[in-house]
Structure 1
Amino acid sequence: MYEKIFFYEEKKFVFKELSDEYCQKAAKLLNQEWPRSLCQRVLSLKSNVAEEKPKFPISLIILDTENDQVIGHASCTAITIVDDLTKNLVFIQSVLIEPTYRGKGLGKKLMLETEAYILEFSKIPQSGLMKTNCDYVYLNTKDKQTFYESLGYEKIEPILFYANKNTKCNIIMKNLLQSMSNDSKSQNLEKNGNFLQVNGSAPAPPPPPPPILSNKNNEELSTENVTWYRKKLV
């Protein structure tokens, strides 16, 4: 299992892949920022646990070895952008540092180590992360724009992407596409309304599109009021 030791303020930390033994602690950390059922959170994290070899989706954590506490978390999922099927990309989400550890540079350390991890293992075909090298990493945020821009992330327009089946990223994608599809159908019905008239009656109004899944307390599903960013890995 991948592990990288570093020291900060004379304390020993480890950046590593999430393992089963730390799912409960990582879930509690994430629930501080985005409350949800602890059981559901743990089950979700278990799907991001590295097995014999790295794989996407995967969760990466920072561990304070002094008290065996998970103080940082970031998850990564391989995606394909809808209008550019030739690229291999990674979406980073659920980035969090435990509140009492903030302001120490650990958030920057978490992001840089996550990017280095993606870059290193995406180049190894046997790693199982992806078939070829990763070109870009993507993310979005509601309130950390300054932080990500300081790390070299460039603001972009919101994107549509495909993720691995049944991943949290795919939930976003499915609902965005569903909404777009229903909007398109509504427009077609309006254009062809004359063909729907029966005995001079007005055409039946199209059904409204289903709402996009949204949960203000759930970072994986919320797509409202976010800024999108991209960074090229070198």
Structure 2
Amino acid sequence: MDPFTKFRKFATYTRTENRTKVDRWKQKGLPPYNVSGSPFNAVPIHHYPELLGPCCKLINSEWPRSDAARMRSLEASCDTLPVSLVLTIDNMQTVIAHCKLSPIPHMKKCCFVESVVVERSYRGKGLGKMMMMCCEDYCRVVLDLNTIYLSTIDQVGFYEKIGYEQCPPVDMYGPRNCPLPSLQNSRKTFMKKEL
């Protein structure tokens, strides 16, 4: 059995039949997907500060930004929201994917997924799908959320394949006294998935 299939079976089992085990992991502060027998581990980065540097490098390889600003964003990860999840291999020594879950102030049971990236040499192997599956399970099981929103410029087809549908833009900043800028000319497509 290939590692992706083994990991997917574990995650499906955990999601549907073994919530008490996940609850025990949550109470102990352990990551929900640290699976013996699988080369992949999906973990919240704030539990593994040694992964901050490699994760910063991965994200900056896709969207360059100063290391200091990127590290500040990653260090904000916590047990609630925002939280950065990373997919690792090699006994959690190598970061191969990342996504960040951010709160939507006026939508308490929802989050916004951003900065989804897979290391270039690992692309085309189903790891983006795996990262999103871990993200969805983490939202549902650990954070008790029911909807995920995101925006994309060029990956609409990928997200549609994994169950996301296009939706109106989402305001990430909560109520304001000024009008929102027009998104008519924006290249971003907003999408959501009910968990």
- Give me the CA root mean square deviation: 2.8
Which of 114, 118, 130 is equivalent to 1:109?
Answer: 130
1:147 to 1:20, Cα distance in 2 relative to 1, 3 A: same
Pairing 1:97–2:118 present: yes
Q: Distance in 2 between matches of 1:113 and 1:37?
A: 28
Q: In the alignment, which residue of structure 2 is the partner of 1:78?
A: 103
How do 1:117-196 residues align onto structure 2 when only pairs under 5 Å count?
117-123=138-144, 134-162=145-173, 178=178, 180=179
Q: In the alignment, which residue of structure 1 is the partner of 2:3?
A: none
1:56 to 1:225, Cα distance in 2 relative to 1, 3 A: same
Q: In the alignment, which residue of structure 2 is the partner of 1:17?
A: 44
After the TM superposition, which parts of structure 1 deviate over 6 Å for at least 4 consecutive aligned residues? none
- Scaled by the length of structure 2, the TM-score of the pair is 0.74
Structure with more of its chain in helix, by fraction: 2
Bigger Rg over Cα: 1
* Percent identity between the two aligned chains: 31
CA contact (8 A) 1:76 1:93 kept: yes
User: Which residue identity is paired with 2:135?
Assistant: T
Give the drift of 1:41: 0.8
Query: SS of 1:77's equivalent?
Result: strand
Query: SS of 2:64's equivalent?
Result: coil
Query: SS of 1:56's equivalent?
Result: coil
Give per-residue Cα distances to partners, 1:147-201, cap 9 Å, x unaligned.
00001101012122436xxxxxxxxx87xx74x2799xxxxxxxxxxxxxxxxxx
Give per-residue Cα distances to partners, 1:3-22, cap 9 Å, x unaligned.
41459xx9712111103211
Give per-residue Cα distances to partners, 1:44-86, cap 9 Å, x unaligned.
11111x3xxx2110000001125811110001012144xxx6x
CA contact (8 A) 1:142 1:227 kept: yes
Pairing 1:64–2:89 present: yes
User: Which residue identity is paired with 2:141?
Assistant: E
Q: In the alignment, which residue of structure 2 is the partner of 1:34?
A: 63
Instruction: Give unpaired runs (5+ residues) of structure 2.
Output: 1-29
Give the drift of 1:224: 3.9
Give the drift of 1:227: 0.2
- Scaled by the length of structure 1, the TM-score of the pair is 0.62
Q: Distance in 1 between matches of 2:62 and 2:103?
A: 24
User: Which residue identity is paired with 2:132?
Assistant: M
